A and B are shown apart, each in its own frame.
Chain A
């Protein structure tokens, strides 16, 4: 009886201390949470503010766009239609998709076997070949541009997108590097098992390694596609004289010039150029982040 009383007497203050302690700990936690996150939120606002301002601008009337107003008086989604009617944006979009799709497909065809040989096959000179890949990756395109440009002129392909698409049939250094890094993360045992079973090396690659490297291949393809989508140097060099071959990057840069003061239309076009990249990123964020990490961390 006394023991029970003692326990209840003992337990009551104990529980009170616990709750008070818990509450204090919770409050401290909440305060430090706010302190830690206020800086994060401030920086996040700085990173997001440009998006907000250009979206607001893209909905303004052409008259209001001439003022310094930050908020639209009335909302004009029709700006996004005008972008297509006042400039051949559909043609630019078609050209960009042609460039990006073919370049990515060709790159995969040529770079996957090369990356496989550099990571999964044993041969003399493999390390030297990898150093060549690194050197090609680091070489600014301007260094070899003159002879390559002359070559495409001889083939009468300047003015078209082919000078940017066709070289991918012969491998792309950055993609080979990235694919190699992905292939190296797959345990060698799976390939060895298939070889013991008498598979040819081509079958080992297509049936064993490639299915396991799907995320890596997806990330590499996505990087290539986005590189083409964003590319400005290549289209400027080869197609600036021929507007029929312009891509979105080129169209966008001159769009501003066609409508010098029409910031509302320019910003609507800018958003349209960003949108596909952002959407794909949100759909495939994990693959993407993995890919970027692999480009740097292994270094």
Chain B
């Protein structure tokens, strides 16, 4: 090995060691509670009871300048099989054959989310259930609990502002092996979940007081779809 190659290898190893140390010491503790207050991290949420005992939970939160009903209307459309995506980085998800496409409007046909309904994380989830989660419990405009205790809690701060708190209990072997879960799933989940919260904020704030109004039931379903903007 030449001196240059040896030096390059040492430099690369040093950079990787620095990256890992920075991630473990600073970035990970911070992203596990991205945007959340101490109270929100400590608070009991409805999905906690469904989490596996050895799960490591992240709690992330965002303030959305829109009423809870508006945030809810967007949230319940989540899923590749429903609105079309998870409001996150579609280009990144589609590198993994997720088949996501942007959700552009509130669709009244998707507002009736029920316990047991599946939400696909990927287009292949129909034949591969591991790529889907299902609704465990819900309370309109307030709470959505998905498989494994993944919880979305909407807390109105006032008539026009909502706090969205999301808790995800990650199982140690979420991705085959704990080491892979830690090094791949957990950082990727932060990227995707923070992207989702920002996507929901963007969607809800674009039309905070929804031009969409459900039409009377005797109207044709198609006529009820309105663009958000």
A binds B: no
